Amino acid sequence: MAKYLVIVESPAKVKTIKKFLGKNYEVAASNGHVRDLPKSTMGIDMEHDYEPKYITIRGKGEKLAELRKLVKKADKVYLATDPDREGEAISWHLSTALKLDESKMKRITFNEITKNAVKDSLKNPREIDMNLVDAQQARRVLDRMVGYSISPVLWQKVKRGLSAGRVQSVALRMICDREEQINAFIPEEYWTLDVMLKVKGEKKLLEAKFYGTEEGKRNISGKKELDQVMTELKDADYRVKDIKNSSREKKAPLPFTTSTLQQEASKVLNFSTQKTMRIAQQLYEGVDIKGHGTVGVITYLRTDSTRVSDEAEQSAKEYIEENFGKEYLAKKDKTTKKKGKIQDAHEAIRPTDITLHPAIIKDQLSRDQFRLYQLI
């Protein structure tokens, strides 16, 4: 009989994590959220500190009954939902719905689904972080209040079926304001003048752009003014007043966050944001790799941090030195400025094992999985 129960969100993770942990552990999935606000009413007590009124999501009763049976058999329960606000809230809802005893319940998180990461998380369990839970509840309550209050007005005044949202309504306002600015713009005529100058002793012509006079920049607003400038320049003598030599150093790009991965995948691979997230989820949850079994090949996909763990950074340095030489190592560590609004709870999106080069595991990945993994 399994002594320990590990509850994750996605069924796709169950097989992989169970293989890492062995016979003493039972691994089960909650299949996402188990409780939420009711669909038929606002579900928020406005008179009592905006207290949310949660109910069991339709169809999740059987799943909770199944989990309760497993909880009774286990000596300890580990809540291993995703390492973000949403995952923290799911763990809290599970602890409430399953009436878990605090003495036998712990919260664990891992940023990547690898054997070391999962086992390390079990060595460092913690309590549920209620600050993260409250942050998720505040977001959910605001979503509900805005949607329930404004959507019916849109149905009456504009068109049935439209929805309002805490984020989408503000974004729509910004788009409309920008569109009004574009429509109000009055175009002005302007001309540019480029000339090809013959340099004594040189075969190649020198291209120059007209800027103005020594007094400052001069804008050319019409053909008549252009002809006047050309007349003034016709018999003039030209000389190079100053030469500036400069060098530019191109730094390696920062690791991907969720938003930058979506942008780059759209630009390079022509993937929609939904497709990018779906494939990234598959790479995170685990794919069958020959000689490694089922393993997650990228770190957690929902992040706004560009931070890389010390262990991963050291692994990358060793790989570069071994395969390319010391001269290709960066002289200084690339540092990133922390911004106040960034959640730095977990790393940037990166490969979990730098030795698993895309070409090596190409045959074990689908075409789209390979293309996204290669991009990361």
Q: Tell me the C-alpha distance between 341 and 63, whole Å.
A: 36
Which of the residues 284, 300, 319, 373 is marked catalytic?
300
Question: Is residue 300 flagged as an active site residue?
Answer: yes
Q: Quick one: angle between helices 85-97 and 130-157, nearest 10?
A: 100
- Residue 361 in contact with residue 297, Cβ under 8 Å? yes
In the chain the beta strands, taken as DSSP E runs, fall at 4-8, 25-29, 35-36, 44-45, 51-52, 55-56, 76-79, 105-107, 194-197, 206-209, 212-213, 216-217, 287-289, 293-295
Phi and psi angles of residue 255, each rounded to the nearest 5 degrees, phi first: -60, 160
- Cβ neighbour number for residue 246 with a 10 Å cutoff: 4
Q: Tell me the C-alpha distance between 273 and 239, whole Å.
A: 53
Q: Tell me the C-alpha distance between 110 and 329, whole Å.
A: 29
Q: Tell me the C-alpha distance between 188 and 324, whole Å.
A: 54
Active site (catalytic) residues = 300
